[in-house]
Amino acid sequence: MTNQNILRDRAQAFRSLHVPGRPLVLPNAWDAASARIAEDAGAAAVATTSAGLAWALGVPDGDHLDRERAMEAVARVTATVAVPVSADIESGFAQDAAGVADTVRAVLAAGAVGVNIEDALYGGAGVLRSVAEQSERIAAARAAADAEGVALFINARTDTFLRGAGGVDATLERAAAFRAAGADGIFVPGAVDPGTVKELADGIDAPLNVLVGHGAPPVAELAALGVARVSAGSTVALAAYAVVRRAARELLDTGTYDTLRGGLGYGELNSLLGSGE
């Protein structure tokens, strides 16, 4: 089977995992090792977190990472796991729609079969891109993937709740426009209240993705509300880096090592990465 056929098969497999009421659960990864650990834990797919990936490369989140370095990191993830991979591409690593299309082609070349693309605007006049501009960017992504013959799953993220730029009505309006432009799913980080999630799941004609972390409703409750995808986003990476800080402070302040208790065994992680070749 050719690489292109493998990519097409993985894209279809990934698409089939988005089922309202039986959500795809993604403990997002930020490098090859975290992706392999997630796969070994039973994840049916792996999704990168753009924030975690940027931090691992020494760059802040929020459209500061360049496309080339991001895609190199994604390619390392896809080479390490056998399950489908979705790449978080922030707002597309591009200034315009044509650039977003270039990014999608790079995503496919890196071996990923899904993308998250957000409507947040950094350093501009507003906090979100206009519906028209974001729809143009999504349409460009759709056209680029279709031209390659791969059913790339485009997860359109809207930061209405996360950035305080609108409630349910504004989110539904954006979701409808993004769907019309070619998005396959809608991601609404910041919306975890059960009543709100239910309104969004009922009002959006596409798989709904929510962002979870400590304090969010459990997956079973979100499933009952009609959610089709549950993402941990940057929360796993943040928890991992918290361990780094606690361990460093303990080692430097008291010269003890209690924080390191419960860590993975050297041989265990080495074997995981070896078996992923």
Instruction: Report pLDDT digits (tens) over 258-275.
Output: 999 999 999 999 999 985
pLDDT value, residue 277: 40
Q: Where are the beta strands (DSSP E) in the chain?
A: 24-26, 46-47, 85-88, 114-118, 153-157, 185-187, 208-211, 229-231
Give whole-number Cα distances, 262 to 58, 226, 268, in Å. 27, 36, 13
In the chain, what percentage of residues exceed pLDDT 90? Answer: 95
Instruction: Report pLDDT digits (tens) over 34-82.
Output: 999 999 999 999 999 999 999 999 999 999 999 999 999 999 999 999 9
Q: Are 207 and 20 in contact (CB under 8 A)?
A: yes
89: CATH: 3.20.20.60
> What's the mean pLDDT in 160-176?
97
pLDDT value, residue 110: 98
Residue 248 within any structural domain of the chain? no
pLDDT band at 123 (very low <50, low <70, confident <90, very high): confident
Residue 258 within any structural domain of the chain? no
> What's the mean pLDDT in 89-103?
97
Residue 128 within any structural domain of the chain? yes
Residue 194 within any structural domain of the chain? yes
Provide the residue range defining the domain that includes 191: 3-237
Residue 273 within any structural domain of the chain? no
Residue 81 within any structural domain of the chain? yes
133 contacts: CB under 8 Å, gap ≥ 6: none
Residue 69 within any structural domain of the chain? yes
Q: Report pTM.
A: 0.95
Greater confidence (243 vs 2) lies with 243
Tally the domains of the chain.
1
State yes or no: pLDDT of 86 exceeds 80: yes
| Collapsed DSSP state (helix, strand, coil) of residue 60 | coil
Q: Calculate the average pLDDT of the chain.
A: 96
pLDDT value, residue 3: 83
* DSSP states of 145-161: HHHTT---EEEEE--TT
Residue 265 within any structural domain of the chain? no
